[in-house]
Amino acid sequence: MRSTFLLLSLLIGAQTFYILQKPNSKSHQDITRLAILRATGKVCESVDTGFKTEGKQSITSRMKAITEYIEKEEFDKAREELGKVLHTLQDFYSHSDWIELNYTDPCTALINPEENIPNAANEDMETCDDSSNGPSENIKESVIKGKFLTSGYARRSRPKGKCSHGGFPDYPDGINKDYSDSSHGSLHNKAANVSIDATVQLLEKIWRSLKTDPALNFFRLMGLHSEKPKSEWKPLISFFDFKLRYPDASEDEYVEV
């Protein structure tokens, strides 16, 4: 049986990694599908050896809720929360300057309550210059040099001196990397790749936080098992085609069970 994992209906929103397919761009669906396949592969390997901001609080609290739903075998509710938390997590890399600051790894503080968000710009710091253009030039040089973390604001909520999200119906210039021809679209693929890694980290953390049958219940969350077998559970995975282990993985990624 081949299963392609797409949390399509859960990833609904505006001003985010693009929902519809655009040329040379990765959507939320692409990022989530690749990350789910990678994380599921690691769970499979574990059972078959042969083979504090509002955004952060939203992520960590939803992760806790997901774990609780899984433990109660309420998988539909767990998936609904998972879609929401992945959307928030992935948007961090499109809407903040994390990529412009040349970070190539995910911000683990977003999923680990004990870690602090690194070097966030304070409310009074001006972070963007509206008069300049280009992939990073509208972020002030002092912000880039000091590695101050900031985000883009929607037009109505944007404080003076702060960065704009960019794109319609916002200001023409901004820092979003939602797709390849957005304000900072030249950095879209870098943002999407880090988002995939971040999504894998979150999924693995959820898996490792489960107390009852972690691997089995993770598979059930992914839709691989509709019912828990009555007899002793054994891995049924005969082949895992993980083209996603390679950077140029194509659209025919699948899991064969």
pLDDT at 235: 44
Contacts of 202 (CB under 8 A, 6+ apart): 59, 63, 85, 86, 89, 111
pLDDT at 252: 45
Nearest by Cα to 32 from 62, 6, 13: 6
Domain housing 103: 2-115+178-256
For residue 233, which phi and psi values (nearest 5 degrees)? -80, 135
Q: Summarize pLDDT for 68-79 with one digit per residue, the tens.
A: 999 999 999 999
Is residue 209 a part of any domain in this protein?
yes
Over residues 10-37, mean pLDDT: 58
HEC string for 4-70 = CCCCHHHCCCCCCCCCCCCCCCCCHHHHHHHHHHHHHHHHHHHHCCCCCCHHHHHHHHHHHHHHHHH
Is residue 172 a part of any domain in this protein?
no
Is residue 157 a part of any domain in this protein?
no
More confident residue, 48 or 153: 153
Is residue 129 a part of any domain in this protein?
no
pTM equals: 0.68
Is residue 131 a part of any domain in this protein?
no
Is residue 92 a part of any domain in this protein?
yes
Is residue 9 a part of any domain in this protein?
yes
Structural domains in the chain (count): 1
Contacts of 216 (CB under 8 A, 6+ apart): 225, 228, 233
Is residue 158 a part of any domain in this protein?
no
Look-up of token digits 């107390």? 211
What share of the chain has pLDDT > 90, as a percent? 44
